A and B are shown apart, each in its own frame.
Chain A
Amino acid sequence: MFSHLILGLRNAGLPASITEYLTLMAAMRAGIAEYSVEDFYYLARATLVKDERHLGKFDRVFGACFKGLEPPEGIKPQELPEEWLLKLAEKLLTPEEMKKIEALGGFEAIMKRLKELLAEQKERHQGGSKWIGTAGTSPFGAYGYNPEGVRIGQDKSRNRTAVKVWDKRDFKDLDDTVELGTRGMKLALRRLRRFARQGAATELDLPDTIKSTANNAGMLDLKLVPERHNTVKVLLFLDIGGSMDDYVKLTEELFSAARSEFKHLEHYYFHNFPYERVWKNNRRRHEEQIPTWQVLRTYGPDYKLIFVGDGAMSPYEITMPGGSVEHWNEEAGTVWIERLTGHYRRAAWLNPTPKQSWGHVRSITMINDLMEGRMFPLTVNGIDEMTRELSR
């Protein structure tokens, strides 16, 4: 009955399964949603979506599948507030048109013209794109309307109706393909724990148990030690200054989120591209530089190295000795990055710029090649991919 909903969800990348579909059917049979569309929406959401990141997508698919389903609650065409329609008309019609129409027959004519416009608009939006691609294309904002007045607009009295709820797209922020907020960032970094943890179990301390049992005249005396866990060690290299200024905030968020996740987390700053010197305190970056060699010596290859940078620079900064914009570097950036990635086999590059644009920037493609394709966008998804790659 609702198979198109399931198919739609699966096409949109939601992991809805047959089991869940059958559960939904069973719940419907048990009469949980009865005849209310709104309840059905809530029920379907509780059954089919298991992760708040997917709620936004679910709303979109649900909207596309069931548009026009919700009953014409409350608002009849003739009940539409006149000012509201006039305002709409003002938005749609040029002043000249308004004048012309007014000359033709005032309000009635305006409404007629408006209806035509709305009908036109509807045609343009057919094929399911209405709910997805609305941004900027529709003069009425994101909400649906209908020239018959069944669903015209977003009137206040309809606050609680279903279409409002799933058209609100409240969960957009939780979608994992959008850029990160602090919370999303934390979630993503928590995934690093997946390979960090070795279980929090307590384990038997055999030597101590034997010793203690012997002391106890053969009476068993178990000694336990807490198992060590969270052994992941991370070395963060953060790009600061220059083209990264736009992303400093985002980087800082990542940084603050990362800090609470690991026992061993070290961070260093670099500018544009890592060369022979990095620094720990950006305010004193010129006084307190640390040789990259020292970093390589200090932290063993069991550290996982994560660069955060937009990678937008002149290709010379990567390939040529002396290419750095700040100082004269004896060895080219490529040498340094190969040294770093050679030492730290688990290395990745997080890029805050959208992935689609990477192909257009030559230096980004070069870095991506140097990182052997381990460049990931700074989104929850990207971090997820990165952790998977790093824990492999």
Chain B
Amino acid sequence: MKSQTGNRSRRISSATDRTLRQLIKTPDTASRIFEFAESLYWRDETAERMTFGDIEQIHALLRQTENDLKWMKKQFQDLAEIEDGFRVDIIPIGF
């Protein structure tokens, strides 16, 4: 029979792994946002102008990304609680 402490420890490590596996994919999101920002920075006089429809779509994307970031940040904080001492402030997620 396994000890309760062992089960708890395995559960924590499993949750941590899962969350970290998910978080590790977030640079894709971040890099796409950075790429888009940079393409706006380098636009020149001949660049394609946006329609009102484009603007609304971009706003929707930004709102979604912001919400996701908030959720990720919360997940980090929750992880820090589980791991006790996990340095959420130095994790390079970009917020």
- A-B complex is real: no
Q: Report B's interface with A, CB cutoff 8 A.
A: none
